[in-house]
Amino acid sequence: MECLVYSRTEKKYISRYWKEVKVGDFVQLRCNEIIPADILLLSSSDPDGLCHIETANLDGETNLKQRQVVRRFLELDSEFDPLKFTSVIECEKPNNDLSRFRGYIIHKSGKKDGLFKENLLLRGCTIRNTEEVAGIVIYAGHETKALLNNNGPRYKRSKLERQMNADVLWCVLILLIMCLFSAIGHGLWVWQYDEKKKPIFDVPGPDGKYLSPALASVYLFLTMIIVFQVLIPISLYVSIEIVKICQVYFIHQDKDLYDEETDSQLQCRALNITEDLGQVQFIFSDK
């Protein structure tokens, strides 16, 4: 995608790709154009210095929001000229908070004006009901608030999967307790015999000496883990995945979920939430 960026050499706005926009560039936007970076609003065609934006791409809200030109630039008598911009902007480090922006702008005269979220145009929003606006890029690329909030899809666990994970942890705990009791019992039993009278099943070490009760307990603890490891249902997860795949297949083949008018059938795009469909009690909708 392209946008208009001010060129200091050509002294006019020229078309550039979004990836070429840098912090400190002056960008000019028109109505229905998507904002390419986080931009501080310095000029607007609106007489009151307002700019309306649509933030549906960020928060899903379709109602328009107002943004205001920085106060001292609102008082300019002539059209905003990037070459005459001599102010210094100081603001907070890039963060993912869409509802917060703090900073200030220091003018050539030494006076300061505060900067707030009402002065910031966020990347991904769309200009609405405003013919033309201009501003300076504050955050660009991966430092914009929109991209910092884009952490990828969140993995959703079904109620069955959460319960299954808890049950496996209980199985591990029971296994450890059983191994611990076995090791302690074995150590106490071996402790009853002296060096000359050992049980017939006790095997001496390479040096001909028998193991101490404590060391024998440690060895038996590890042995019991191997013996009792069948308590851990390792194949359970594989079996559940196979069941989910079969369940999705039957959902796709269900004739009751087929629409003849559009010639389309139900599409199941996730394997880990189909088992929750039968547990839905409430449906909330804003439409």
Instruction: Provide the annotated active-site residues.
Output: 286
For residues 145 and 37, give the distance between their C-alpha atoms in angstroms, rounded to a whole number: 9
- Helix and strand totals (H; E) in the chain: 6, 14
List beta partners, residue 30. Answer: 132
The 3-class SS string of 47-67 reads CCCEEEEECHHHHCCCCEEEE
- Exposure letters 107-145 (e unless 16+ CB within 10 A, then b): eeeeeeeebeeebbbbbbbbbeebebbbbbbbbbbebbb
Quick check: 113 and 72 in contact, CB under 8 A? Answer: yes
Which ranges in 55-129 belong to alpha helices (H)?
A: 56-59, 71-74
β-pairing, 103-106 vs 12-17, is unpaired
For residues 24 and 2, give the distance between their C-alpha atoms in angstroms, rounded to a whole number: 17
